[in-house]
Amino acid sequence: MLPAIAAAIMALPRALVLLPGLALISALVVQGMIFIGVQDQPAPRKAHATPTPKAGGLGIVAAFALGVGLHGAPGLRGAVPALLLIAAVSLLDDLLTFGALPKLLAQLGAGVWALAAGFGLHRLGLPWLGPWALGWLGVPLTLGVLLVVTNAMNFIDGLNGLAAGVALIAGLMLAWAGGLAHEAVLVGGGLLLAAGVLGFLPFNFPRARIFMGDVGSQFCGFLLGLLGVAAARAPGTALLVPLLLSGVLFDVGFTFIRRLLAGEAVARAHNGHLYQVAARAGVPAWAVALVQWGFAGLGGACALALRPASPLGGAGLVLLVLVVQLAWAGFVVRRARAVGLGRWSV
């Protein structure tokens, strides 16, 4: 235990020193991708009206990889090949446009590698209940968490700055919580993620000179999934990632259930997510992005305030996050009706 605590304490200042330089590296790579100009063409289900470069998330990947080499990223190094596999397949998809199957196979392969590297939910550190052994159930649960978070971040990446801002806030709050809990993997992973996104975000918000692309959204999602698995094993951080990504996960879950009940083909690409419907109903894209950033900030603050010894207070914080999401969904529904937006998915 003492070596882990020492590593966490030592990791924070070193990673913070690296953060500005890694953000600069990310920005330089993003600028290079703008120059190369792999175009994302407009389409009926997309928010942009003019061809715009994509794959800017390569800057996030480059900053992270360099940061791991310089900083070491305690506890995370074994999963780096899995992260790079996700990034490589996603980049090829941005360049060549794959179907869903190759990306799913890459995600499963990366998940298996992560399991072999020690990122397994063989136990949960549940708030108020303490450790809970899962045994072999931890394998499918881990893969499920990684797939859900990876694809949720991919699905939410449809408006300028939305996914990147959520990832930035999540990275910073993971590092903060990791420092308080003496979890080096959360400190290093969170700050390296934040550094890469910090270099990318000015190119994507409020006006997009480039999009993150699958290489960015899936990489960020898989990394957040890994950190979520690591955080779930300690009572003090178990709900950190679900609460940080509450807006993202609620949007994806709400949309999946709505489309399923409506008889829509849930595997088909669409623009019927809550955040997309809000933008189509006249809410400015920058405002929708800020709302989602606020959800991440609120979820992170509630997660940091949770205390295993106060179940009633902790349950109230979790309920607050859910109530806020339901209120947002209600607002979007009313807004869509007010402007006569009959069909949610195109």
Q: Tell me what the mean pLDDT of segment 276-290 comes to.
A: 96
Name the CA dihedral angle for 210, 214, 215, 221, rounded to a multiple of 10 degrees: 120
pLDDT, position 129: 62
Decide if 162 contacts 282 (C-beta within 8 A). Answer: no
Q: What pLDDT band is residue 314 in, cutting at 50, 70 and 90?
A: low
Axis-axis angle for helices 213-231, 184-200 (nearest 10): 160
Buried b (16+ CB within 10 A) or exposed e, 169-193: bbbbbbbbbbbebbbbbbbbbbbbb
Q: Where are the alpha helices (DSSP H) in the chain?
A: 2-36, 58-71, 80-96, 100-116, 138-155, 162-181, 184-200, 213-231, 240-244, 246-261, 274-280, 285-305, 311-338
**What is the 8-class DSSP label of residue 137?**
G
For tokens 């996050």, what's the residue?
A: 321
- Alpha-carbon separation of residue 42 from 31, 49, 98 (angstroms): 21, 5, 18
Task: Tell me how far apart the alpha carbons of residues 213 and 100 are, in angstroms, rounded to a whole number.
Answer: 15
Name the average pLDDT for the chain.
Answer: 88
Q: Residue 151 is which amino acid?
A: N
Task: Tell me how far apart the alpha carbons of residues 346 and 332 are, in angstroms, rounded to a whole number.
Answer: 17
Q: What is the reported pTM?
A: 0.92
pLDDT, position 309: 46
Of 123, 119, 209, nearest to 164 by C-alpha is 209
- Alpha-carbon separation of residue 293 from 46, 84, 179 (angstroms): 21, 26, 22
pLDDT at 20 over 80: yes
Q: Tell me what the mean pLDDT of segment 264-275 comes to.
A: 86
Q: Which tokens go with 48?
A: 């942009």
pLDDT, position 8: 46
Tens-place pLDDT, residues 108-157: 999 999 999 999 888 776 666 666 777 888 899 999 999 999 999 999 99
Decide if 171 contacts 197 (C-beta within 8 A). Answer: yes
Q: Tell me what the mean pLDDT of segment 291-316 comes to.
A: 79
**Where along the chain do its domains lie?**
2-338
Tens-place pLDDT, residues 48-60: 778 899 999 999 9
pLDDT, position 2: 46
- Of 123-127, 329-333, 341-345, the poorest mean pLDDT is in 123-127
